[in-house]
Structure 1
Amino acid sequence: MAGAGAVVVLAALAVVGTRTLSDYRSRPLAPDVAQPVEAYAVQLVTGSCLEALPADGEVGRVGVVPCADPHAAQVVAQYAFDAAAAWPGQDGAHQRVTRACVLSDEEVAAGVRLVTWAPSEAGWSRGDRTGLCLAVPTGPVTGSFVDGTATPAGESPTPAG
């Protein structure tokens, strides 16, 4: 009988541990982190600066750095799908996120491109309903696209007007 009780306790601890880990993995980051950190894509928010842009495909973990450090991309907007929405398909999800993404004329002229991240079907089934718009410059930058202070790494920023 004691063995069965131990199994129940272990099972309960496993459920609590899994739920705690899941909550931690989905807790949003600050818009500009104080130090480099590895984070899950679902933790990113508008303002998050990425050390490197991951290869195409499903994104798990990414390196997030302070925006004052050189970085290869930045989350510049988010698209929130309705929590009760039906899965729109991968193409539909990307199309909806893309409509939320806009660059300034100056950013386009500087060669900045947009990359969209939409939930995958597996992520959707786990409750991920956020799409991200990332500004990707032609080379590393420091500063932020969100507040207009992004400049090529190594150059001094000019005041935002």
Structure 2
Amino acid sequence: MTAYPEPHYAPGWDRPARRGTDGFAVASIVTALLGLGPLALGLGITGTITTRRRGTAGRGVAIAAVVLGALETVALLVGVALLGTSWLQSRPLPADVAEPRTAHAVQLVVGNCLADLPPDGDVDTVRVVPCDGPHTARVASSYAFSADAIWPGQGDADALVARSCVLTADEQAVGRVVVTWAPTEQSWDRGDRTGLCVVVTPAG
């Protein structure tokens, strides 16, 4: 009978091989660093689940991606909401509204009728009413500044719009007057390039 030597095993031979970093975890942190919040959030959640089930490394990375992805997603939603609000506040009105409504001055177009004339100074919101009902003023015409024009200063902006406003002889005969609204420096910076000529009907 032949004798064989006892086999020799290196220390740790029976330990399971360490598994690599989870692919979802890696992808989640990469997309988070790229600012792709919703995608990073989804991959990060998947990564936390797969690292637990498979025993792969990267759970901490996936959790970090979930946090970053959630923050980026919230910031994205807030930005979209602000853009949507800004668009709604600058969307032009129809020429004659069907019912009274409050609107921003930059939404006015030729034909809109106003319930009241705002006080002198910067005009933000106005009350727009149907023209077949009682109204104090009407937007008669508009003046368009060039889209690439440089801010001319408030005085020159007012003067340019005023020169474009002309009353007919009949309007002058019944005592109507014209009020000019020009962009302010603040609204100009937001892209406002339209001046308005508003004809005011005398009281009584």
Q: TM above 0.5, one fold?
A: yes
SS in 1 for 2:171: helix
Q: Distance in 1 between matches of 2:137 and 2:177?
A: 10
1:63 partnered with 2:131: no
Matches within 5 A, 1:4-153: 4-139=68-203
Deviations 1:95-152 (A, max 9, x none): 1111111111111111111100000000000000000000011127xxxxxxxxxxxx
Deviations 1:80-107 (A, max 9, x none): 1001000010111111111111111111
Runs of 4+ that moved beyond 6 A: none
Whose helix fraction is larger, Structure 1's or Structure 2's?
2
Larger radius of gyration: 2
Q: Distance in 1 between matches of 2:143 and 2:201?
A: 21
Q: Distance in 2 between matches of 1:17 and 1:96?
A: 36
Structure 2 residue identity aligned to 1:24 = L
Identity in percent: 51
CA-atom RMSD, angstroms?
A: 0.9
SS in 1 for 2:140: strand
Q: How many residues align?
A: 140
Deviations 1:35-93 (A, max 9, x none): 10110000000000000000011111110000011011110001010010000101111
Q: Distance in 2 between matches of 1:6 and 1:38?
A: 36
SS in 2 for 1:139: coil
SS in 2 for 1:78: strand
Question: RCO greater where, 1 or 2, for CA within 8 Å and sep 6 or more?
Answer: 1
SS in 2 for 1:53: coil
Runs (5+) with no aligned partner, structure 1: 141-161
Q: Distance in 1 between matches of 2:179 and 2:70?
A: 49
Q: Distance in 2 between matches of 1:139 and 1:34?
A: 24
Q: Distance in 2 between matches of 1:112 and 1:89?
A: 28
Runs (5+) with no aligned partner, structure 2: 1-63
Whose strand fraction is larger, Structure 1's or Structure 2's?
1
How far residue 3 of structure 1 moved from its aligned partner, in angstroms, is: 2.4
Q: Distance in 1 between matches of 2:184 and 2:67?
A: 41
